[in-house]
Structure 1
Amino acid sequence: MSIKTTTHLNFRGDARAALEFYQSVFGGQVTIATYGDFGMPKDVPGAENIVFGQVETADGFSVMAYDIPG
């Protein structure tokens, strides 16, 4: 039996930059959704922050990143 783990990282506004960095290192597909994508008004500060972000490679490596309020 194999186990797959995924690292989850929390940021305060830097999740997009972190995901772009990890993609430059490991390759793979980046998926990003912002708070604005999930209904926060686009003109509210923080609407462009990441509510869900992931880099996933073809060989199964993945890392997830989020911008948390606070």
Structure 2
Amino acid sequence: MKKTRLNTLWLLSASSQKKYKLSEKEAFNYLDRFKAVDFLERQYNIAHTLSFSQMVSDVAFFCRKNGGGL
């Protein structure tokens, strides 16, 4: 994974951490468990063109669609 993608994933994880009051590890594990990490890797060329708040909302929706409860 390229550095810019890792930075985006880290920011997304940190944003989820704050929004849902999770630890850093819990936030990353949640994103990984409900396939958001894979989704972001596959769709990065589109995702990075969205506003960050839109990307957070879209990834949260994607996780819920895959069984996530947050």
* Pairwise same-fold verdict (TM > 0.5): no
- For the pair shown, the structure with the greater C-alpha radius of gyration is 1
TM-score (norm 1): 0.32
| Higher strand proportion | 1
TM-score (norm 2): 0.32
Tell which has more relative contact order, 1 or 2 (C-alpha 8 A, sep 6+): 1
| Higher helix proportion | 2
